[in-house]
Amino acid sequence: MPGAKLDQTDRRILAELQADGRMTNVELASRVGISAPPCLRRVRTLEEQGFIRGYHAEVEPRLLGFEVQVFAMVGLHSQAEADLTAFEARCRDWPLVRECHMLNGEIDFILKCVAPDLSSFQSFLTEQLTAADNVAHVRTSLVIRGAKDDPGVPFEVLEDRLAREA
């Protein structure tokens, strides 16, 4: 079971860092109830094992001039692995594409895109996305407003499940 090799202290460290990645090691250690040196060792181990992929500032797109957020549902002509991999690589090169997920079902990929304005997104859509190799069709949905945008995972659900299994 994923997450089983982590003890409760490791999971608390991850939950605290997910909520506030800027806190000092001393503050983190205090919050999880251990001293600073073993806390730092645990954090480094969690980083080395890939449980912590990085630390990022959460920026406000609209304050930076990115007024438009769009979800693009992309269908490809071919779903051969080489074609899927090629499309994913292309998505990584497009700055406006912030997330790219391959899906099961009627659409092959969903892309989360941000742009300064509608005109910029339209240029990307017509000149790059729909013109890309293997793209059969693209449907877009403009985000009007967001009701929830929680990064990471819900640690409380994991803890509840582990408590039930114990």
- DSSP states of 16-84 as a string? HHHH-TTS-HHHHHHHHTS-HHHHHHHHHHHHHTTS---------TGGGT--EEEEEEEEES---HHHH
Q: What is the pLDDT of residue 26?
A: 98
- Count CB neighbours of 33 within 10 A: 10
Banded model confidence at residue 119, pLDDT cuts 50, 70, 90 = very high
pTM score, whole prediction:
0.86
| Encoded tokens for 132 | 């890309």
- Report percent pLDDT > 90 for the chain: 90
Q: Do the beta carbons of residue 124 and residue 66 sit within 8 Å?
A: no
CATH 3.30.70.920 residue spans of the chain: 62-142
pLDDT tens for residues 35-92?
A: 999 999 999 999 999 999 999 999 999 999 999 999 999 999 999 999 999 999 999 9
The pLDDT mean for the chain works out to: 95
CA distance from start to end of the chain: 13
- Please state which CATH class domain 1-58 belongs to: mainly alpha
User: Which residues does 58 contact at the CB level (< 8 Å), separation at least 6?
Assistant: 151
- Please state which CATH class domain 62-142 belongs to: alpha beta
